[in-house]
Structure 1
């Protein structure tokens, strides 16, 4: 006859990697001692055990066995309610069987590991880029929301995507870019801390856990590492009128040959005539990126445009600026150069492909000539090109 089987707990709960247990009793009211075997049926059978698996039952006597559940930890572990059944069957009479059913709830295991796996650019004048990777080592799908705090406002950020859905055992990547809000012309490297935050969302879209990834952007000065003398815009604005008056007075008292030379340096059209001993002026516009072209002698920088982001857009803006500034009275012919094709305008070592388009005028005999040009051109620049500046670079110093 069939045995009498009773499961003491039909609803259990367990965490992955831990153990839950209950007991069951078996009774047989026949005339002879009967041997019974136990096994677990259903999806839980892979991580369930019965101790002992076989008993000899004396008629009228109850025997107890333990039922153990140990769901594995890791991405392959089950999540939620898992039904199971405990079967008791006679070894001699295979048709004598009893089955009891139950459910075990396996809770989800949440574990996210995060790291910045790739640093595409961490030093630069304008931008830095990183790739962050998030691995789901838990047993349930993870939805992560990513964010970057503004900090001190020195950097602007672009982050994509801002939300990741990661399956158990899978991973997701996010791309982070930082851009300098306030580029500076000269000085030492400025180090800006960068923090990428991530928060796991629960079933109700509430943040249930969070973490941080730390990085840093080392911002370089706009001007390359050369012996550079800077005539700042603020200083020139204050002394432009006085400097222009003094310069015009000196020009009027000079001999005819120096006066002719000064007039040629400020000519609005045609090739610039350099002073004796000065290096010849470079060709008009550095539009051929394959041919390196260097600024000659002392030169004046009017503006720079980054080349590391939206290159086509920045190139068009640089070309438009070059065209517009040449229409300003007293400016004359200027050049547009790519710093990546120049030794004098080059980026620091170890940063290939990062640079800027530089709008400049070269061919000055020295710092004094270039500064005098700025003093004369600045009033008209202030009226027509409010986003231009006048920086003197004397590479001979």
Structure 2
């Protein structure tokens, strides 16, 4: 953008104007060896810890210590319906209705639970379509589902590939695949934001295309939740799942979120695994009643929720709830735009940005493909106090996260990169 300037003074000025700048103070910023704050650019891998997280977890520890089992009803935040509050807040973040969202399990587990219901192969229609460069765990998951149903994974997996000498996926190619194989494809499962390139897909377009050919459509939103406007309800997707430890700052390996579209909410004929936490709340503790499935996404729960893990999510979601995704996305576009501007000032001789240049087709991550580079470049950045993410064979992923990254962070990151590349 023409109104960016490649100076520290400009970065400082933007931070002073930024209405979200002070939220940075609500997070623990890792320290460099010299005691200064690191330039942390890996919120797309593990989000930073909100300072209030410890108090939220300690509250549940205290209630457990003083109340024991009575904490389910009499804790400050009663455990019995703890997940319901989180579900309502999470629904706002992903553009869904409360009935469509539940916080449970972990990401890949949720994808498997969703495929129990939404991958129902037949001898004719059994294939699964994914991105050719999907996150590895998604590929492993769908291959194992094919094998579980006694199909050959190599034959049953359909890959949406980038064109030769290109990194980004093209919708025309997806249309071509479905024209040829649509009647053989039972499920489309795409990463809403590709982990490697940072490409943010048009979820509604993909869903409508998949449904046109009779496919079920789901999304892995690990790199989308808390980063972009997913608008899951309006997308029409059958299901989605996401982790909470990246942009949602809930801590390493924390439990995940799950979306099931409202049109499936009352369909008790959908195949699924069941447990007592998906059973009617009114009769759940009578213990001997036959299974009576809850409506909505809650009907896919199995077990009572892990409160200590949920306390960390609650601490982060309350910050998101206070700020709102609209303000976060507005800052994200400007901050990432500034990052892109500064990188382009360095010239294109040594690297290129493989993330889409259109702000509506990406989140805050930029993936920088460095010519003739190896991981030593990433190591030098780390030594200089820049925490970024290296992906083989030659890509550095950096995500200026709007809740806690600043324009100064972006400026100093590019200055360090400039020095190292020289």
Indicate the structure (1 or 2) with the bigger Cα radius of gyration.
Answer: 1
More strand by share: 1
Please indicate the TM-score interval, normalised by the length of the shorter structure: under 0.3
Q: Which has the higher contact order (CA 8 A, sep 6+)?
A: 2
More helix by share: 2
Please report the TM-score for the alignment, with normalisation by the length of structure 1.
0.20
Please report the TM-score for the alignment, with normalisation by the length of structure 2.
0.19
